[in-house]
Amino acid sequence: MPKIRAAAWGPLLMVSGFVCLAACGDGSGSGAAATPTVTVTPTVSATPNTVGGRVFALAFHASGRSVVRSENGGQSFARVFDADAGGPQLRRLAFVDESRGWAIGSRHPGMSSILHTSDGGVSWVSQTENIVVDDETLVRLQDIAFSSAERGVAVGSVVDVPALSDPPVILSTVDGGAEWSVLTFPGSHRTTLQSVCLTAGGTGLAVGPSRVVRTDDGGATWRDITTELELFGTDLRTVSCTETGQFWIGGESVRRLGLMPGSSHETVLFSPDDGGTWLGRSPPSLANTQDVVTSIASIDELNGWALAEDHTTVFHTDDAGATWVEQALPVGAAPGRVHLNALDFRDSQRGVIVGVTVPEDESPNRPLVFTTADGGDTWVRGTVPDDVRGLSDVAFVP
């Protein structure tokens, strides 16, 4: 079988193949930070909301991983699929409608898989056989995104044990996963792409530590734009893009070249104009800190929501990051560490957050699900099957 080949940065060479299964200121460089208003905390309602719509989530429990599904916007979930014992540990998922979706996972470190469903998550088939690399090449996938039932991308890194380099990798498909193409990048040691977004118009971004790459043709080719953003020493964790031409990037200590010591270090970057301008847009309590923004959801040119490590609130902006509000979540008073793992919004009103509470004692982990029907002004707890111990990802059907 053909060996995977690398392309130079810039337009990237595609190689068809099988995977072993498996800051910123105003953009001028001046360092002037955005001026947000003081945040406020809304009241949390105990009354069930009226959020609707189909939602999928990845659940973990004592015997493995499952796909759970909600028909009421995340208020209650039921199990629809259990991964086989010894099967892939499902990590991320993406859906384009109520029936068709994809998930990535791994059997053990360094070996990833891609699964596809066409019946609303009830059954899944492997697409890993549609990705051709040699038997010695392992791919570790971290995220997946689809802009239509045909076009999608998955990102991560190649596990290069002899060279200890682990260069980034992007898989792309134009036929719903019947064939995946493999793109790799030389000279990018230990740079795993962590998050990816893709629009129906063909624009997309993928991010990882000190790395931002962009596509304008639906994932067929990519170019490195890290130097355009003048980023350095950054741990980029999450990216979101809208159909109206806005980009959001989140992570830890997002910094720009040219800023003097003491200048602001951002946890959120925002572009209002398809990447022409990049602005520092951190929530005030996260700027110039060691906090890490781990998940961002955006649905239009103004509205965005963000989660941060070790925070039990949601950060919401309705003015493109100029100001932020911290929205309270009813996490309860039980002792333990709260991990908010993922969020997704269907529109400006309906959203879902999933995660897990790890108790301080030896008791089992407790799952967390929160839903909103009013843009986050109020959040209520959702329910999952009794044996679920946590949730790692969530996808609201468009």
Angstrom distance (rounded) from CA 349 to CA 328: 16
Nearest-5° angle of CA 284, CA 29, CA 194?
Answer: 65
Query: Coil, strand or helix: which one is 353?
Result: strand
Question: Which pLDDT tens digit goes with each residue over 167-195?
Answer: 889 999 999 999 999 887 755 556 889 99
Identity of the residue numbered 214: R
More confident residue, 256 or 211: 211
In one-letter notation, the amino acid at residue 273 is D
Indicate the average pLDDT of the chain.
82
Which pLDDT belongs to residue 264? 57
Over range 62-91, report the average pLDDT. 90
Share of the chain above pLDDT 70, in %: 78
Q: Is the pLDDT of residue 397 over 70?
A: yes
The sheet carrying 101-108 orders its strands as 89-95, 101-108, 111-117, 125-126
Say how many CA atoms lie within 13 Å of 251 toward its Cβ. 28
pLDDT at residue 255, rounded to an integer: 59
Say whether pLDDT at 283 is over 80.
yes
What six digits make up the tokens of 219?
A: 């994932």
Q: What share of the chain is helix, strand, coil (3-state, %, to 5)?
A: 0, 45, 55
Instruction: Inform me whether the pLDDT recorded for 260 exceeds 60.
Output: no
pLDDT of residue 362: 83
Contact predicate 287/324, CB 8 Å: no
Residue owning tokens 């005030």: 284
Per-residue pLDDT, averaged over 244-263, amounts to: 70
Give the CA radius of gyration of the chain: 20
Q: Which domains does the chain have, with CATH numbers?
A: 15-396 (2.130.10.10)
Asked if residue 180 lies in contact with residue 173, where contact means CB atoms within 8 angstroms, the answer is: yes
- pLDDT category at 41 given cuts 50, 70, 90 is very low
**Sign of the alpha-carbon torsion through 224, 226, 227, 233:** negative
Which residues have CB under 8 Å from 376's CB, separation 6+?
42, 305, 314, 316, 327, 351
The string of pLDDT tens digits covering residues 201-240 is 999 999 998 889 999 999 999 999 988 887 766 789 999 9
Span 322-367, pLDDT tens digits: 999 999 999 887 678 999 999 999 999 999 999 999 998 888 999 9
What letter represents residue 224's amino acid? D
pTM for the model: 0.84
- Residue 159 in this model has a pLDDT that exceeds 90: no
Distance CA 348, CA 373 (A): 9
Alpha helices in 192-341 (DSSP H): 226-229
pLDDT at 233: 63
